[in-house]
Amino acid sequence: MAVSVPAKQGNLRLVGESVMNGGSFGRVSIVGEGKLIGRTECDSFGCTGNSVVEGDLVAKKVRVMGELKVDGDLKSREAKVTGEIQVKGSAQGDSLNVPGGSFSVEGDCEFEEMTVKGMIRAGGLLSADRMELRLFGGSSASEIGGGHILIKQSKAMKLKKMFAAHPNEVIKAGTIEGDVIELENTMADVVRGNRVSIGLGCEIGRVEYRGELKLDRRAKVGEQIRIQ
C-alpha cells in the first residue's frame, strides 16, 4: 500500500506530558504521555509511552512499545507493536507485526501480511494475503479472510496452561474464508476454503471445502460440505 505524506514541517519529539496539534512531519517520537490533536501524517511514528492521536494517523512506519490510541483511521506501510494499539476507525497497510502485545480495531483491519503473537480484535473484517496468528489471550473478528490463514496458540499460552488451570483462550469469528486454512483453538460459525485443517480446540458450525479437509478427532464440527 502506498502511503503518501505531504510536505513536512520537520521532526516532532514529545517528552513528558505534552499536547500538540497534528500535521505533517518527518519523524514523530513520543516518550511519556503525548497527545496530538488532529490528523497526523509522518514518515515514522514511534511511541514508548502513552499516546493519543485525536484524528487519523498516516505513517510509513509505526513502532509502539507503549500504548497508542487512534481516534480515527490508521494507515501504515509497516506497523510493529510490542505494547497496545487501539483504533476507533479502520486499519490498513502492507505489514502488521505484533511480536507481543495487542492490536484492537473497531472497524476493518486489512494488511498484506499479518503476524501476531499476542492478541488481536477487529469489529469488522480481519484480512491479509498471508496471516499467521499465534495467540495469547482471547481474540475476535466479525469475519476473517485471506490467502493463507494460520491460527494457533502461542508457545507462551501453552506454557501457561502447564502450570495453572486456565480456560481455553480462543479466537471467535463469524466466517473464516481463505485458500489454505489451518486452525487451532478457533470458534467460528462457518469455515470456507480449498485446503482446510481443523485442529485441537476448534468448535466450528459448518466447514465448506473444495480440495482437502483434515479434522483432529478432538475438534467439534457440525456440518462438513464438499463444494464444487
Whole-prediction pTM: 0.89
Residue 202 has pLDDT above 60, yes or no: yes
Domain contains 94: no
pLDDT for the residue numbered 55: 97
Domain contains 1: no
Quote the CA–CA distance of 119 and 98 in Å, as a whole number: 8
CA 153, 159, 160, 163 dihedral sign is positive
pLDDT for the residue numbered 115: 96
Same domain, 202 and 106: yes
Q: Among residues 89, 118, 138, which one ends one of the domains?
A: 89
Same domain, 147 and 205: yes
Three-state DSSP state, 13: strand
Three-state DSSP state, 160: helix
Domain count, the chain: 2
With beta carbons less than 8 A apart as the criterion, state whether 48 and 67 touch.
no
* 207 residue type, one letter: V
Same domain, 80 and 104: no
Same domain, 73 and 124: no
Higher per-residue confidence, 163 vs 84: 84
Domain contains 67: yes
> Whole domain around residue 30: which residue ranges?
9-89
Tell me which residue has cell 473497531: 106
Same domain, 226 and 162: yes
